């Protein structure tokens, strides 16, 4: 039964992407070719959700009746539910700016631990960013290709994080798997992007992509840090939260491999909740979504991470 539900949910996810969202605003110089404008009039909304214990351990034993779902504060009937694993399309965004010079060894160890958690059907791409983002490895199932490329990385220059996210969202249009995620490893904020924070947040609202972030931040008095580094923790946390992903601040580089392992486990232990909105009007507005847990009584306090909303594509 779960397998049938999963196939239905995955197909519906594709419908949601092509029929319910605004097209991403793109720089014409970054276009790779024309794409057909597909539209399917199926107002099914899918919300990925991850549930963890206070220790951050994924909880995978919940049933549909353990979830309640609200859109714009009105409760919705959950009609699709799946908790099986499925292949992922993952974009790794790797900070190659000059400030990463002393963090490369631990960052490579972290990438190794992350790839150990991947499934055989997962596909990856790599974007390195400093003065500008570069797609250095397109979609591949061979994580060793990405690792070998990272071994040749030489950190230099400033940080174009927001431009890197924009490039990743464009590349995700060709994702071979319907479940999509961006994983960001960076040590600070943005100081060299053309795209603004509000533009990228808007693009993420319209994209069916989870964002997981690892922020390697300096300790000490925040007032003495450059402005972009002071804003880095907030920016990474907000990008992850609005998509249903998680942000992991890393103060000790020795913790970085374990954080990557946790992100990999999170990506492969999720629920998928689907519903038909009680108000199916396609008004072009952003609709807020909230998932509430009704966990069994023998469970510890649980936390649910989920996408905070979606943009309904106007008719």
d(CA 179, CA 48): 9
Confidence of residue 313 (pLDDT cuts 50, 70, 90): confident
Compute the distance between CA of residue 304 and CA of residue 52 in angstroms, rounded to an integer.
Answer: 7
Contact between residue 92 and residue 127 where contact means Cβ atoms under 8 Å apart? yes
Cα angle value 43/45/48 (rounded, 5°): 165
pTM over 0.85: no
pLDDT at 284 (0 to 100): 79
Nearest to 286 by CA among 235, 242, 236: 242
Of the candidate ranges 28-42, 100-114, 120-134, 136-150, the one whose mean pLDDT is the lowest: 28-42
In whole angstroms, give the CA distance from residue 240 to residue 228.
Answer: 18
Residue 193 has pLDDT above 60, yes or no: yes
Q: Given this model, what pLDDT does residue 211 score?
A: 97
**Mean pLDDT along residues 137-160:** 95
Residue bearing tokens 């952003």: 286
So what's the pLDDT on residue 223? 66
Q: pLDDT digits over 7-53, tens only?
A: 444 444 433 433 333 333 334 333 333 333 223 344 889 999 999 99
């Amino acid at each position: 039964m779960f397998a049938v539900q999963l196939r239905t949910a995955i197909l519906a996810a594709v419908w949601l992407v092509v029929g319910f969202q605004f097209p991403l605003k793109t720089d014409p110089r970054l276009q790779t070719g024309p794409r057909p404008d597909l539209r399917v009039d199926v107002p099914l909304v899918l919300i990925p959700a991850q549930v963890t214990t206070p220790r951050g351990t994924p909880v995978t034993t919940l049933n549909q009746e353990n979830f309640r779902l609200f859109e714009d504060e009105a409760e919705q009937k959950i009609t699709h539910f799946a908790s099986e694993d499925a292949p992922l399309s993952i974009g790794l965004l790797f900070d190659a700016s000059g400030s990463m010079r002393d963090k490369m060894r631990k960052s490579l160890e972290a990438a190794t631990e992350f790839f150990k958690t991947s499934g055989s059907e997962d596909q990856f791409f790599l974007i390195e960013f400093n003065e500008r983002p570069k797609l250095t490895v397109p979609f591949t199932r061979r994580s060793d290709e990405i690792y070998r490329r990272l071994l040749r990385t030489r950190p230099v220059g400033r940080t174009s994080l927001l431009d890197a996210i924009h490039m990743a969202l464009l590349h995700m249009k060709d994702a071979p798997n319907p479940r999509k995620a961006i994983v960001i490893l960076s040590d600070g904020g943005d100081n060299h992007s053309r795209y603004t924070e509000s533009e990228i947040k808007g693009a993420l609202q319209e994209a069916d992509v989870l964002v997981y972030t690892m922020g390697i931040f300096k300790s000490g008095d925040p007032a003495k840090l450059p402005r972009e580094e002071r804003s880095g923790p907030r920016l990474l946390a907000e990008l992850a939260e609005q998509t249903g992903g998680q942000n992991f601040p890393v103060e000790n580089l020795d913790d970085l491999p374990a954080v990557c392992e946790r992100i990999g486990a999170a990506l492969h232990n999720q629920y998928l909740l689907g519903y038909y909105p009680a108000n199916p009007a396609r008004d072009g507005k952003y609709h807020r979504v909230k998932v509430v847990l009704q966990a069994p009584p023998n469970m510890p306090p649980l936390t649910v991470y989920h996408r905070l909303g979606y943009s309904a594509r106007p008719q």
